[in-house]
Structure 1
């Protein structure tokens, strides 16, 4: 089972809309080495895992795979905010802030944006595609059934993903984009450490190789701040019943040779989520007066808090 906490893993810093940056970020979401691929690859390796004696390794894969669900959420939300031209979200006036202002066609901004499908298909939201607009495919997912091979492949995947995110960081100075990119750079390094440490437990030494790439990413201010917090050396279980055994693998000195110790936590604290504002020109959410009245009545209705095996749920 998976539980959803309505918090983003990292703060998305507000800035002006930037459809070009949004389109570039699509590679980090739906590209061959993007977050959708890592999410599906690690989860399928977890689902298909064989051998009870290897449970700590399976639990490590489960933890990283579950975190990647949150990464998909984070980067998709970032893309949506970069495309969204609402002045109720950003502060400084621009051509994107007021669609249709001065008699202009409401969605004319889409014609000069990074990917017209962000407006035409996605209603100013993220899409499950790469930066070229090619759809994400399950053919990206690798699961050999062999633990050492999977760990090697996962290490390569995290390394390549981190390389691409370092390039994405250098492509834009937009604070919204960089806040998310920097966080993912550091968490990719944490996952490199996870798979490298797992390989070490199997007798493979990776100490002198990591981190990959050797880009000195700590020169990026946002990355440096996160590294100072040791985020590159933490891994999360996202496990509610405390049966996760990944700490048997993820422990000891970091393979990055940065002087930190690896540590496991249940999950990150996260930051509050916000729901995007209405986009009338996109007919989203498309609630008419009668539906809005129904929504309001439902919101005001006193409902009892449901309970279950995992405890009370706040209404």
Structure 2
């Protein structure tokens, strides 16, 4: 069972729209080594896990897989923000929708020569479950052998390859919106490399002679160095509300990255940052709601609604209804 907190796991820095960067980030979302792949692979491995004595390994897979859900949300939101707006369009709501506004460009001109035109045609300037070439994400990417060592080795390779690709995407753009998310994912990929490397070590696997690949030295990127200096590469969250995760039995000791840090699994989840909804884009046929719908929304909000208790667990049973006294006839 999963709960959703309406906060992003990391802040997305504001910058100009950049459709080309958005399309490059699609590889990190829906590509063979992207966030949708890691999310589905680890969750399926944890769902299909067998062997109660090996519960700490199941809990580790589940915790990382749950974090990957938030990474899908983060990178998808970043793509949407990179596509949100037309830098050269300076029109107003009174301008005809098919002409340049106030001396600017037509609203969707940049869709014709940058990035993936499907971002505009079918996704209303949002992320798609595809890679950077437009190929749909496939469940065939998911690896779940049923053998713990094989799965952990494959996961370590997956995180290493994903980090390599994100380092390449980082160097494809100077856009601050893109780089803020890419840098965070690079560091968290390293944390997950550490998780699977430590798990393999506890099983007697000498992975260090060949992995992790690559030796990226990504800390030379200033946004990455800032996060590494905070030790984010050595933290792993449980995302467990019941304090029953045993992943900390594995994610402990000196980091396999050999960077002098210790692994820390003591936090349930990161604090995150506020999540905001993008503004309407009337000129791009993403108008949001009209006056009639707004009136309905307000009417609903004015209704007396029962408060939802911010608690986890079973709802207390209500008192049984009292029986009415029988009438004397």
Shorter-chain-normalised TM-score: which range? over 0.9
Match of 1:197 in 2: 198
CA distance in structure 1 between the aligned counterparts of 2:68 and 2:210, rounded to whole angstroms: 24
Match of 1:269 in 2: 271
CA deviation string 1:236-281 (max 9, x = no partner): 1000011100011111110000010001120111101110011113
Name structure 2 gaps, 5 residues minimum: 92-96, 315-329
Answer yes or no: is the 8 Å Cα contact 1:17–1:96 preserved in 2. no
Match of 1:91 in 2: none
Match of 2:69 in 1: 69
How many residues are matched? 306
Match of 2:81 in 1: 81
CA distance in structure 1 between the aligned counterparts of 2:90 and 2:275, rounded to whole angstroms: 22
Which structure has more strand as a fraction of its residues? 1
TM-score (norm 2): 0.88
Compared with structure 1, are the counterparts of its residues 205 and 142 closer, same or farther at alpha carbon in structure 2 (3 Å cutoff)? same
CA deviation string 1:129-169 (max 9, x = no partner): 00001100101000001100000000000000000000001
Answer yes or no: is the 8 Å Cα contact 2:89–2:101 preserved in 1. no
Match of 1:21 in 2: 21
Report SS of the residue matched to 1:236: coil
Match of 1:52 in 2: 52
Match of 1:142 in 2: 143
Q: How well do the aligned residues superpose, as a CA RMSD in angstroms?
A: 2.0
Structure 1 residues 293-304: aligned runs within 5 Å: 293-304=295-306
Q: Does 1:290 align with 2:292?
A: yes
Answer yes or no: is the 8 Å Cα contact 2:60–2:247 preserved in 1. yes
Match of 2:43 in 1: 43
- Give 1:105 shift: 4.1
CA distance in structure 1 between the aligned counterparts of 2:123 and 2:109, rounded to whole angstroms: 15
Name structure 1 gaps, 5 residues minimum: 87-93
Match of 1:248 in 2: 249
Structure 1 residues 154-169: aligned runs within 5 Å: 154-169=155-170
